[in-house]
Amino acid sequence: GAGVSQSPRYKVTKRGQDVALRCDPISGHVSLYWYRQALGQGPEFLTYFNYEAQQDKSGLPNDRFSAERPEGSISTLTIQRTEQRDSAMYRCASSLASNSYEQYFGPGTRLTVT
Amino acid sequence: DQQVKQNSPSLSVQEGRISILNCDYTNSMFDYFLWYKKYPAEGPTFLISISSIKDKNEDGRFTVFLNKSAKHLSLHIVPSQPGDSAVYFCAAKDSGTYKYIFGTGTRLKVLA
């Protein structure tokens, strides 16, 4: 079966542009997480969805970051007016249910803001 | 302020010997702990987990130990194999939330 997929895998954008990062979770997985990972660091929690409901967005750094999962499947993380400090690996993970601790991670999107 | 700390950035172990990876945490409200393994150019892969109400969980060559009084978690791999060479992250779940806090990772190299 297919794992978690993310697109694009690499994104280079100019400062000030908006970017949208897509996550396609494992089919049937209820829970979806977004993380940001800087080089040499562990994943940093950004936001959590249970079906289409965004139940925790406490990790989003500021209001330039938003996420949605309108039909409870595919999710999009949007960064508006990108800044160089937004450059990082953005990872998506899904799990079967809200009480499933095992998360399946996607390969990530490497975002570079120039 | 790192709530989950992996103080050893790297570890080298001879094949067949035991690998011990350590993790310390500061938040006593964490209720679940996990270990993930990550190969280059891939996302982290779940390895093993433990609830805060237990002190040991074993799965094949992998055993996780939890010492709540010391706020310390360790992963034992016995025997170590070259294919175990990867970066290992410990993670903790904040009680009452769905938020997971990850450590900075330890790079394990198993020498053949």
For A40-94, the pLDDT digits (tens) are 899 999 999 999 999 999 999 999 999 999 999 999 999 999 999 999 999 999 9
Residue B96: what pLDDT? 84
Nearest alpha carbon to residue B99 among A50, A85, A107: A50
Burial class (CB in 10 A: 0-12, 13-18, 19+), B5: middle
What 8-state DSSP symbol labels residue B79? S
pLDDT band at B101 (very low <50, low <70, confident <90, very high): very high
A40 chain-B contacts, CB cut-off 8 A = 104-105
> Distance from B70 to chain A by nearest Cα, in Å?
22
In DSSP terms, B92 is beta-bridged to: B33, B101
Please tell me if residue A68 touches chain B, with a CB cutoff of 8 Å.
no
Q: Which residues 25-54 of chain B have a CB within 8 Å of chain A?
A: 32, 34, 36, 41-46, 49
How far from B82 is each of A13, A98, B41, CA to CA, in Å?
A: 39, 35, 18
Nearest alpha carbon to residue B15 among B108, B87, B81, B86: B81
CB contact under 8 A, B99 and A50: no
Residue B2: what pLDDT? 80
Please tell me if residue A44 touches chain B, with a CB cutoff of 8 Å.
yes
The residue of B30, B99, B104, B107 whose CB has the most chain A CBs within 10 angstroms, and thus the best one to mutate to test that interface, is B99
Rg, C-alpha atoms of chain A: 13
